[in-house]
Chains A and B, each alone.
Chain A
């Protein structure tokens, strides 16, 4: 195959469907809407950044996605990363935990501790965060279906360790609507799932106001096949759904909107990605100010974690992913991310090794320390190309959001599988283009190497001993806890779920009594039922 470019005769269209010109001038900026939305960093509409000084004051938080086997092994890896300069934690849970199953559930066989740490009771949180200063190191929990339970465990663990939860920072992913579109760790049907998210927002607004109860993820929607404009537009539709739910509880917009955050993906065209982040910041600020009447600038901030993921990596010549990751981190910094979780080169095929984790961390440290990226805010501003593209991306996002609203809104479209189908059609289209060579992927469909010359990939081993130890530890807790207290707390969860009361206070009592993730989840499914996946192509 050839990688020679056509001499400009063929139009260049970016992934979001915007045609890219050979040359941009001031006229293009004017024609696309001018510089009205650019403004200054730290001021509405925040296109250039949510803080006036951005990285000059503080570089992005480095928060690698980490967790495997059990709490003890994960705690060791956390400490290794902190010792190597990591400034935040991002916890990976195993699949049984993510979907609310206990370790001894028959469906958990072979999955315990495989893709993250196993959690059954509060004790697992006590072990996982032992010796870590939770004021110094903020913790993000990558949990969705079982988020209400794990947020409660985190708060209960912190309280028990002597922290004042009214001052405690931290984040839970807790974006269930995107789980129905991609990633798939749903438990309950769509509506009660959204209700639970609103329960956590309400509970945190009242009891842990510095805690970020939701991080809305365009990330996984992009991983599932959405283009960059769709990624951000769908995330905003979802964030609006949670916002509407929280407002219905009687909260004021400024009581909680400042504690919503976002998670976005990075791969593909550098300029399209940077324009995506700049456009998104302006659009979210506008939505919060104009549609919701937010007064506090903080409510208008698009705070985000960003980083590359599995879809931007390839198993062929995996070392090439090291360079890919470096560009993704560069994009994150040029795009003004508050936090980065940089993908690891081996992530296309396994749980990242300690070595790969360290390389990703060093990549970010190199960018922060050596490259001048932190010296000045939003360095690409004023580029005719970037400003034009930022305007075009924002327009495209608004268009997608309007389409979703016109077709009944995001909750309805997710319940019916419409968004899932659209996103999967996008994935199919992209994969066909990669397989046909229309889209070039280095080492995959051009510059390929003989398989024999490639290094033997190293895979993360599955630890069956750790799995058995986890089952034994949970059995020991069950034998020693006050069962009457557990039963009372569990019964209260069911009562509150039935009456439509916020279930968080009852879940807090249950986790403090060492009820398990599975026991609490089962009480909720007795009332809410199970999600049935719509199959639609």
Chain B
């Protein structure tokens, strides 16, 4: 049995707004998770590769500038190719409510818009990592 849950926090696309991602990294670290932060400008291919290489339990994306739908569609294909669909997949940031249903259809398990309580995120991860 693994000792600690490993979470990847990744910044998809070209957007440089990383305040939220870094805040969540700190909150997850304080909650006892092992966190791998990707840094900025990750392609879907890079996110899938890091998830595979680091053998993470959770793939978390932080999107602030609106390009999350296209990114998640492509990442979904790569997760399938790499047999990573069993991982818990979550997204946070500036995510319009109207995108929620489509993101769930793509395969996102949890959506945490700006202003979400840290406990909501940590609780969700603990409950859903199998």
Q: How far is the CA of A533 from the CA of B114 in the complex (A)?
A: 24
Q: How far is the CA of A459 from the CA of B94 in the complex (A)?
A: 11
Interface string of A172-183 (1 = CB under 8 A from B): 000000010011
We find that the number of chain A residues with CB closer than 8 angstroms to chain B is 42
Q: How far is the CA of A492 from the CA of B56 in the complex (A)?
A: 47
State the Cβ distance, B109 to closest chain A Cβ, in Å: 22
Q: Would you call A110 and B71 a contact (CB within 8 A)?
A: yes
Most buried by B among A110, A185, A348, A457: A110
Q: Would you call A109 and B70 a contact (CB within 8 A)?
A: yes
Query: Which of B23-31, B47-55, B76-84, B100-108 lines the interface with chain A?
Result: B23-31
Q: How far is the CA of A348 from the CA of B94 in the complex (A)?
A: 8
Residue of A nearest to B68 (CB): A110
Interfacial chain B residues near A427, Cβ < 8 Å: 19, 22-23
Determine which of A114, A225, A311, A316 lies in contact with B66 in the assembled complex, contact meaning CB atoms within 8 Å. Answer: A114
Given A110-B13, A537-B29: A424 and B22 within 8 A (CB)?
yes
Q: How far is the CA of A115 from the CA of B17 in the complex (A)?
A: 12
Interfacial chain A residues near B66, Cβ < 8 Å: 114-115, 350, 459, 462
Residue of B nearest to A314 (CB): B115
Determine which of B26, B41, B117 lies in contact with A424 in the assembled complex, contact meaning CB atoms within 8 Å. Answer: B26
A224: Cβ under 8 A from any B Cβ: yes
Interface string of B9-45 (1 = CB under 8 A from A): 0000111111100110111010000000101110100
Q: How far is the CA of A114 from the CA of B13 in the complex (A)?
A: 12
B128: Cβ under 8 A from any A Cβ: no
We find that the number of chain B residues with CB closer than 8 angstroms to chain A is 31
Residue of A nearest to B18 (CB): A184
In B64-113, the 8 Å CB interface with A consists of 65-67, 70-71, 94, 96, 98, 113
State the Cβ distance, A126 to closest chain B Cβ, in Å: 25
Given A95-B14, A424-B22: A114 and B65 within 8 A (CB)?
yes
Q: Would you call A114 and B67 a contact (CB within 8 A)?
A: yes
Given A224-B19, A427-B19: A535 and B67 within 8 A (CB)?
no
B interface vs A, CB < 8 Å? 13-19, 22-23, 25-27, 29, 37, 39-41, 43, 65-67, 70-71, 94, 96, 98, 113-115, 117-118
Q: What are 19 pairs between A and B in contact, CB < 8 Å?
A: A96-B14, A99-B14, A110-B70, A111-B13, A115-B65, A184-B15, A184-B18, A225-B23, A311-B19, A314-B115, A350-B66, A427-B22, A431-B23, A432-B27, A457-B96, A459-B66, A535-B37, A537-B22, A537-B29
